[in-house]
Amino acid sequence: MRTLDHDEFLAMRRFPALDGLRAIAATIVILFHFAGPKWSWLSGWVGVYIFFVLSGFLITTLLLREQDRTGRISLSAFYLRRVFRILPPYLVILGGIVVFAWLRGEFFEREFPHALKYYLTFFNEFLPGSKPNGADNFFSGSWTLGIEEKFYLVWPFLLVVAGAVGLAAAWRKLALAIAAFALMAGLVGVTSGWVLNGPQVPIYRSTVHYAILLIGCVLAIAMHYRRSYAVIKPLTHPLAAIPVFGAFALLHVNMESLWGETGSNLGLLIAYGLLSAMLLVVLVSPGPLRRLLATKPMRFVGERSYSLYLLQGPVHFAVVAAIPPLGEHRMISALTVCAVGLGIADLIHRWVEQPMIVTGKKLIARRQERKALRAAEAELKKEPRPVDAPSGAR
């Protein structure tokens, strides 16, 4: 047993165990919504914060590796990748819900004319505050997408501003991420209040979510550069998984009770984000936990977790309509929603998500080819033309 070398980490092109972590996060969110109070100890509601740390880590890692490979971060390519990755499943599922509501004559009853203004502009997290007692439209769980889309819009630009490559740029990026984290955490008192265990509406618009995303960003930057990686390297030893997973699991299963008993809600979420980040280090490193979460079934669910997460509301409604006894929140209800939702998510993954990701990559490749061609033509024009010799010259 040994630690993971920095060069080995940089050589990894995929982190399959993180798909397994996505699978767990999506599943516990569904259990939180539909399994009933007996399973509240699973603290499924914090599953979204696992997604946030994952997003911050993966997006930043991809951007930093692109910068090392090409010498720059292409913001246009990044935004195109995000558009073709995020929008197709999102719009297919939202469109299906809207059509379903219209056909049932519930389009206005479920207040879609109001809700769509938020859903189509990715200000999802502000919808609950606009109508605290609004009707259920099956898509309220998409509030996390509003958070992530604004993060995707701003964070890559800040990385570009921080500089290209080199040791100074590395420390600037790390300082930027830590400063941004401190700012977002400091603004919690303004955006939602320091004690988050109150009405649900304020927490949706809280900057605490961006602070958790930035924990993943800090981790990605620290692991990308050799000097800062040396600080994290001990956590890559297989034996480190025992205390890290133990601490994470202990906090996770007690989050529900601690949330109500303490006024330090911000501290709890930040501690959870930090332990989630440490768990990511364990999961990208060799060891039994990585092998377990990288199994085919875990990766299958994880690769479809985005659509599965968005589908939970409409699938629950359809399941209850077909089998009314499942309207009672209990484990069989939650598992049925998971199974049916996963089946539909698989279809969306195969027929929408993957084809559109490929289309986006082809579009980016064509743009890069045209750009390279224009650059080559410009260089040719700069080259001096040979001067014809005077008539009669030898």
Average confidence (pLDDT) over 359-385: 82
- Return the pLDDT at 374: 81
Q: Does residue 192 register a pLDDT over 90? A: no
Closest to 6 in 3D by CA, of 296, 270, 285: 285
Please enumerate in sequence order all residues whose Cβ is within 8 A of that of 120, keeping only pairs 6 or more positions apart, or say none: none
Please enumerate in sequence order all residues whose Cβ is within 8 A of that of 290, keeping only pairs 6 or more positions apart, or say none: 17, 282, 283, 284
Q: How far is CA 205 from CA 15, 113, 129, 252, 377, in A?
A: 31, 21, 8, 23, 50
Residue pLDDT, tens place only, 317-353: 999 999 999 999 999 999 999 999 999 999 999 999 9
Please state, rounded to an integer, the average pLDDT across all residues of the chain: 91
Residue pLDDT, tens place only, 283-311: 999 999 999 999 999 999 999 999 999 99
Q: Does residue 268 register a pLDDT over 50? A: yes
What is the Cα–Cα distance from 121 to 327, expressed in whole angstroms? 32
Q: Residues of the chain with pLDDT > 70: what percent?
A: 94
- Return the pLDDT at 394: 44
What is the Cα–Cα distance from 63 to 43, expressed in whole angstroms? 32
Q: Does residue 170 register a pLDDT over 90? A: no
- Return the pLDDT at 366: 92
- CA angle at 233 for the pair 2 and 299, rounded to the nearest 5°: 75
What is the Cα–Cα distance from 287 to 271, expressed in whole angstroms? 24
Question: Do 52 and 60 contact (CB within 8 A), yes or no?
Answer: no
What is the Cα–Cα distance from 185 to 49, expressed in whole angstroms? 14
What is the Cα–Cα distance from 311 to 340, expressed in whole angstroms? 9
